């Protein structure tokens, strides 16, 4: 009698532990995974977005998640320009006056940002800050600023006046009023850092999602690939227009649905055209980049969005190991040649181009 009761109590405790684990897991309704407790997941709020990390491995622990949180916080505290005392904030404060010495890591990200600016002929420009501040889209802005102010801000967007000293790892903005803004690249970098950490800890199957910047590590257990949903523009987060089957890839989307305001029936979103000083206005609703490094995917998704369909498609096609999905406002989907076999349209509202 006595033994049976203890046995029942242990069973109940066991069940509570199992349900607690699966309750934690985002998307743990996944019945195809090896164990009902997988993935083991955790969410963080950082970079103004929800970051979710789902690991398909029973060894994943609270200590690992705590370490990931630390990594994300470190990047936020050095590269977020809105974070008081961050390295990027210091660079901005010293604009027009002095070079600021920064960590290797921050220098590396800024250097890459400048390279994407050069390669895209300034369509991607990490000195976009004066324009993002002026428009403040997703940050309280609700009206088109006056022309003179736009023109003034536009003059201060100039990646060639972002001076990098490799030996001292120092950074200087040549003119007062210039502002470095790593908003289009830092989340991608963070995705790579988390992926690298997990790999070093011996985890080989995980999904890292930084508000739409996805890193798909390895493959899904018992599957050859992951199936990643491609966000449908103009719909709330989570609605997909199609899927892509990948392993060990990063999938990053930039679109007009992320942050915007509407003024006189015109939509003003957060991806700026440095040439006009206005939010990009072209045929595109979103661009998704599929590649190996998330820092690259993040920068390219913004760069290619600014380029527009034709130029962007040619640009992406010319790069090795880079694939792209372009979705136009008239609901056509254009693909680079390397992903025609692995992309699947799932929404009837959209159609494949050609
Ligand atoms: P999200 O951050 O929503 O995932 P993006 O990766 O496209 O989207 O980044 C958009 C952010 O990048 C903006 O909020 C702004 O900080 C910055 N940005 C906007 N336009 C440009 C541009 N042309 N070049 C570089 N950065 C930009
Ligand atoms: Mg980006």
pLDDT tens digits, residue range 99-116?
A: 999 999 999 999 999 999
Reported in sequence order, the residue ranges of 86-192 that DSSP labels E, i.e. its strands, are 100-101, 162-165, 170-173
Mean pLDDT over residues 174-196, rounded? 98
> Which ligand is nearest to the Cα of residue 129, counting in written order?
1
The answer on pLDDT for 21 being more than 70 is: no
Q: Is the CB of 209 under 6 A from ligand 1?
A: no
Write down the pLDDT at residue 32. 45
Q: Which fold has domain 79-173?
A: T-fold (1.10.3980)
Is-contact 128 274, C-beta < 8 A? yes
* Chain mean pLDDT for the chain: 90
Alpha helices, DSSP H, located in 156-263 = 186-200
The answer on pLDDT for 18 being more than 70 is: no
Kindly state the DSSP code that residue 57 receives in the 8-state scheme: -
- Does 184 carry a binding-site annotation? yes
Lowest mean pLDDT: which of 31-35, 62-66, 181-185, 294-298?
A: 31-35
Tell which wins on pLDDT, 36 or 241: 241
- Which atom number of ligand 1 is nearest to the Cα of residue 259? 3
> Which ligand is nearest to the Cα of residue 128, counting in written order?
1
Tell which wins on pLDDT, 71 or 239: 71
258 Cα–ligand 2 center, Å: 11
- pLDDT category at 341 given cuts 50, 70, 90 is very high
- pLDDT category at 22 given cuts 50, 70, 90 is very low
Which strand ranges, in their side-by-side order, compose the sheet holding 226-231? 226-231, 240-246, 343-345
Q: Which tokens belong to 5?
A: 């009761």
Query: Residue 51 and residue 72: Cα distance in Å, rounded?
Result: 9
183 Cα–ligand 1 center, Å: 5
Write down the pLDDT at residue 141. 87
Mean pLDDT over residues 72-93, rounded? 97
- pLDDT category at 35 given cuts 50, 70, 90 is low
For the chain, give every residue range classified as CATH 1.10.3980.10. Answer: 79-173
Nearest alpha-carbon partner for 138 in 306, 256, 45 = 256
Q: Is the dihedral of CA 317, 319, 323, 327 positive or negative?
A: negative
Upstream peptide bond of 279 is cis (omega within 30 degrees of 0): no
Query: Residue 350 and residue 148: Cα distance in Å, rounded?
Result: 40
- pLDDT category at 267 given cuts 50, 70, 90 is confident
300 Cα–ligand 2 center, Å: 7
Query: Residue 150 and residue 128: Cα distance in Å, rounded?
Result: 12
Write down the pLDDT at residue 142. 87
Is-contact 102 155, C-beta < 8 A? no
Neighbours of ion ligand 2 (CB under 5 A): 184, 254, 298, 301-302
Q: Is the CB of 186 under 6 A from ligand 1?
A: no
Q: Is the CB of 124 under 6 A from ligand 1?
A: yes
Q: Is the dihedral of CA 180, 185, 190, 193 positive or negative?
A: negative
Measured CA distances, 221 to 200, 228, 292 (Å): 19, 14, 20
Nearest alpha-carbon partner for 230 in 262, 267, 190, 257 = 257
Write down the pLDDT at residue 8. 38
For the chain, give every residue range classified as CATH 3.10.520.10. Answer: 2-75+185-352
307 Cα–ligand 2 center, Å: 13
Lowest mean pLDDT: which of 24-28, 242-246, 325-329, 333-337?
A: 24-28
Query: Residue 178 and residue 129: Cα distance in Å, rounded?
Result: 7
- pTM of this prediction? 0.89
The burial class, CB within 10 Å (0-12 / 13-18 / 19+), for 1 is exposed
The answer on pLDDT for 78 being more than 90 is: yes
Mutation test residue for ligand 1: of 138, 184, 300, 306, the one with most atoms within 8 Å of CB: 184
Q: Is the CB of 258 under 6 A from ligand 1?
A: yes
The answer on pLDDT for 174 being more than 90 is: yes
Phi and psi of 200, rounded to 5°?
Answer: -65, -30
Helix 104-119 to helix 294-307 angle (10° resolution) is: 30
- Does 302 carry a binding-site annotation? yes
Mean pLDDT over residues 333-349, rounded? 96
CA dihedral 8, 9, 10, 14 (to 10 degrees): 100
Is domain 2-75+185-352 classified as CATH 3.10.520.10?
Answer: yes
Q: What percent of the chain has pLDDT over 90?
A: 79
The answer on pLDDT for 6 being more than 60 is: no
> Which ligand is nearest to the Cα of residue 138, counting in written order?
1
Task: List the residue whose alpha carbon is closest to atom 22 of ligand 1.
Answer: 124
Mean pLDDT over residues 254-282, rounded? 91
125 Cα–ligand 1 center, Å: 9
Task: List the residue whose alpha carbon is closest to atom 15 of ligand 1.
Answer: 183
- pLDDT category at 264 given cuts 50, 70, 90 is confident
Reported in sequence order, the residue ranges of the chain that DSSP labels E, i.e. its strands, are 40-46, 49-55, 100-101, 162-165, 170-173, 205-210, 213-218, 226-231, 240-246, 249-255, 260-263, 266-269, 284-291, 323-328, 332-335, 343-345, 351-352
- Does 346 carry a binding-site annotation? no
Write down the pLDDT at residue 25. 33
């Amino acid at each position: 009698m006595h033994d049976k009761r203890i046995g029942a109590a242990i069973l109940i405790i066991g069940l509570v532990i199992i349900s607690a684990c699966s309750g934690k897991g985002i998307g743990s309704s996944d019945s195809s995974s090896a164990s009902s407790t997988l993935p083991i997941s955790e969410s963080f709020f950082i970079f103004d977005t929800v970051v979710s990390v789902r690991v398909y491995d029973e060894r994943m622990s609270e200590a690992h998640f705590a370490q990931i949180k630390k990594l994300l916080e470190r990047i936020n505290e050095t590269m977020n320009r809105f974070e008081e005392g961050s390295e990027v904030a210091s660079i901005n404060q010293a604009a027009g006056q002095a070079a600021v010495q920064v960590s290797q890591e921050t220098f590396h990200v800024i250097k890459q940002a400048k390279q994407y600016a050069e390669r895209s002929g300034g369509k991607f420009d990490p000195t976009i800050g004066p324009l993002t501040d002026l428009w403040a889209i997703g940050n309280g802005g609700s009206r088109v600023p006056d022309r003179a102010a736009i023109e003034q801000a536009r003059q201060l967007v100039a990646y060639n006046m972002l001076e990098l000293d490799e030996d001292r790892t120092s950074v200087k903005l040549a003119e007062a009023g210039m502002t470095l803004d790593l908003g289009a690249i830092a989340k991608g970098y963070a995705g790579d850092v988390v992926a690298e950490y997990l790999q070093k800890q011996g985890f080989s199957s995980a999904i890292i999602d930084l508000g739409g910047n996805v890193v798909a590590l390895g493959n899904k257990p018992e599957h050859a690939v992951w199936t990643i949903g491609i966000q449908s523009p103009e719909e709330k987060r989570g609605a997909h227009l199609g899927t892509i089957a990948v392993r060990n890839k990063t999938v990053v989307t930039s679109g007009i649905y992320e942050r915007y305001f509407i003024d006189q029936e015109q939509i003003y979103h957060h991806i700026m055209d440095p040439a006009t000083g206005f939010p990009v206005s072209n045929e595109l609703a979103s661009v998704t980049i599929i590649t190996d490094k998330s820092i690259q995917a993040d920068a390219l998704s913004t760069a290619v969005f600014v380029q527009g369909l034709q130029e962007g498609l040619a640009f992406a096609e010319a790069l090795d190991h880079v694939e792209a999905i372009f979705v136009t406002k008239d609901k056509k989907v254009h693909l680079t040649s390397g992903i025609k076999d692995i992309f699947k349209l799932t929404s009837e509202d959209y159609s494949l181009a050609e």
